[in-house]
A and B are shown apart, each in its own frame.
Chain A
Amino acid sequence: MKIFRISSFLSLGIAGVLAGLLYWTSQSVQHEETILLQSQQAISFEQETLQVLGTEWDYLTRPQRLEELARERLNMVPPHSGEDILDTVSELPDAPLAETIFIEQAQTAKAPSVSPTISNAERESFGQLIDQIGGEEVTP
């Protein structure tokens, strides 16, 4: 019996290569699986965080809390009693003082000038542009 035949070495070599491939595949799978598990864990962690944040959001936006804040900070109250509902537009209350002043200023102030103001630098660059295209600049 001849042990050291070429076919034996060949078989051994193939087995070795296959073992290596198998090992590499298994390592790759394990590696990918680890990444997958990590991603899943990260997702579930984020989901848990979202659950807590969602609960906190609904806690902070409780209607009674929003109403209290609107009353304290914005001077807003629920629309109560018949007087709050107007029949005609003329019954609308006067605008608040600050707005009235603004409106008065707007009415009395001079209208802003609409004539175009062109800086010298702009005029120069515009002149250059006209030169390049071989036209003539028209002075207003």
Chain B
Amino acid sequence: MKTLSRTTLHMTGSKRTALDMARGRIVLISAIFVISFIIVAGRALDVAVIQGTWGQGQETRTSLLEHKNEKTATVRHDIVDRHGVILARSLKTASLYADPKIITHPETVAKDLTAIFKDMSYGDTLKKLQEDKRFVWIKRNLTPDEQYKILYLGHPGLSFQEEERRVYPQGELAAHVVGITNVDGGGLSGIEASFNKYLGQGTSPLALTLDMRLQHVLKREISYAMTKHRAIGGAGLIMDVRNGEILAAVSLPDFDPNLSGDVKDVKRFNRLTLGVYEPGSTFKLFTTAAYLEKNKNGLGDKFDATQPLVFGRFKINDYHAEDRLMNVAEIFMHSSNIGSALMGHKVGTKDFKDLLSDLGLMTAPDIEIAEISAPLIPQNWGDINTATAAFGHGIAVSPVQLVSAAASVMNGGIKVKPTFILNRDIENKRGIRVVSPETAHHIRQLMRLVVTDGTGSKADVVGYHVGGKTGTAEKNTRGGYDKNRLVSSFLGVFPSESPQYALYIMIDEPKPTKDTYGYATGGWVAAPAVRKTIESMVAILGMEPQEPKDDLKGSLARYVPPKEKINMQKVSHETE
């Protein structure tokens, strides 16, 4: 029994163990099933209730994250003026493309598309839609209204891609300086081209030195002068003589950068930096400066302007002939070519060229714009070239160069580098002296005298002591100089006592009118435009008028004899 019972016990134990194992397995499998069901139920609850209810009406995280990744794409930076007015900005637009494989009825789609885009032809559109491709551009940079119309059509296979479009809110106003970009956002001209990398990667908008209000005033006056004198073109510049900042830069004719696709090259031509012109009498400023640098007390030195000057086969005449002995002040005031040529001759070719070189008139200007031209200077510069360059002929420089050189003289003799970029005047702060302060002062006195008593009287503004120099250059054609094709200009500065702004206006091929008594010279064409510009400019900038006692011209009176005295001198000269 014992054995039996032992056997029975053993059997019972084995049976129990097997049963236990089976039970354990069942529990384990059940547990796995239960846990799995709990997980599935939990997930169902999560998706259906927690996320479904809480996230109702909201975009899913996935789509939000996708959108966030899109945002990281670089946006081309703005170009703004000195007061933050937008000159160029990239805005997001939708571009329309098609997947021809999905389009079932290309004829209907083409018909609908051409009804929306009037400039597209049915044939071309249909051809695009029937191509054996998965991607065809239909039209880039749509307006929101156009995009809405396409969405309303609801054709499958038409989709949009977000792109950037460069917008120029100021239109033509600063087109030559700001420049344009191509359809892919790459700079093609102006600041857009020269700062292409910065605008693509930079951290902040690019601020220019331009002031749109002054830009508008300058453009308005140049356009008026051009229309009045039926000119083919014009250009103008306003520069801060203290730091070389260009506040306004106009070149006409101009173009709308928003519609730059079909603009004629003549309109794209930037006369200020790319055009080089014989400056005419405005260049006498540098001749006189060179003379006064060599002869400190030379304002009273006299030169014989009675006879034309003959250099080999060349003859130099006076436009405003005074036909008498004249001192340096009178030569400048009456713009005598003979006198200036004699002064240039006395300075000497080397010293004259050295000063022009110091003023940056012998090499291409260093300015932040792609379109620049080097000046045209005689290859073998001899004495005859010094004589002609002394009154601004036989040498051609760009207006921006001319104004920078003049600003360097007018500001007291410190060289300034022209700039279009705000807060970039570090180099100008260092300053290199090009002429002495005394010479600079005399030049300012002489320029004031030109306006009060000389050829530039039409540039005078009551209460603001404007100084300046007129310039009239005959255009060089193949057969020599053409008296009927002029480049008339005026280079002004104000206030003369402590100059702040240099103004330059140039009118290309002006025709005389009845009002100007048949003249189309700088004094008749450009000087009035400068006056009107200054009149508006002082109002915009809130500049207070000056005291008459500060006027610079007074101190030069002793060099400029009154008209009666001149006539008496002439009579005695003739009787001798």
Contact = CB atoms under 8 A, between A and B. Distances in A.
Given A30-B61, A34-B58, A80 B535 contact: yes
Contacts of B536: 78-80
Interface stretch (B165-173, B313-321, B413-421, B551-559): B165-173
B216 interface: yes
Classify chain B's interface size. Answer: 35 or more
Interface in A17-43: 23, 27, 30-31, 33-34, 37-38, 40-41
A27 B47 CA distance: 11
A134 interface: no
A101 B68 CA distance: 66
8 closest A-B pairs by beta carbon, nearest first, are A63-B216, A59-B169, A37-B64, A58-B169, A58-B86, A85-B462, A78-B536, A82-B462
B272 interface: no
A37 B89 CA distance: 26
A34 B64 CA distance: 8
Contact of A79 (B68, B216, B539): B539
A74 interface: no
A98 to B, nearest CB: 26
Given A54-B89, A63-B173, A63-B213, 10 more contacts: A23-B42, A34-B61, A37-B68, A41-B67, A55-B91, A58-B85, A78-B535, A80-B535, A82-B461, A84-B535
B61 A33 contact: yes
B21 to A, nearest CB: 10
A67 interface: yes
Contact of B71 (A23, A44, A55): A44
Contact of B535 (A27, A41, A58, A79): A79
Contacts of B89: 51, 54-55
B532 interface: yes
A3 interface: yes
A52 B462 contact: no
Interface in A50-64: 51-52, 54-56, 58-59, 62-64
Contact of A31 (B54, B59, B67, B462): B54
A41 B70 CA distance: 11
Contact of A41 (B64, B167, B220): B64
B61 to A, nearest CB: 5
A79 to B, nearest CB: 5
A48 interface: yes
B160 to A, nearest CB: 15
Interface string A83-113: 0110100000000000000000000000000
Interface of A: 3, 23, 27, 30-31, 33-34, 37-38, 40-41, 44, 48, 51-52, 54-56, 58-59, 62-64, 67, 78-82, 84-85, 87
A2 to B, nearest CB: 11
A38 B58 contact: yes
Contacts of B535: 78-81, 84-85
B27 A64 contact: no
A85 B463 contact: yes
B28 to A, nearest CB: 9
Given A38-B59, A79-B535, A80-B532, A55 B169 contact: yes
Contact of B92 (A31, A48, A79): A48
A29 B213 CA distance: 52
A54 B86 contact: yes
Nearest to B75: A51
B426 interface: no
A3 B24 contact: yes
Interface in B65-85: 65, 67-68, 71, 85
A55 B58 contact: no
B212 A63 contact: yes
Contacts of B55: 34
A48 B539 CA distance: 36
Nearest to A20: B42
Given A55-B169, A63-B212, A27 B64 contact: no
A95 B217 CA distance: 29
Given A38-B64, A41-B64, A79-B535, A62 B91 contact: no
A82 B461 CA distance: 7
10 contacts: A33-B61, A37-B61, A37-B64, A37-B65, A54-B89, A58-B170, A62-B212, A63-B217, A64-B216, A79-B539
Given A30-B61, A58-B86, A67 B216 contact: yes
A15 B442 CA distance: 95
Contacts of A62: 169-171, 173, 212, 216
A109 B463 CA distance: 42
B40 to A, nearest CB: 14
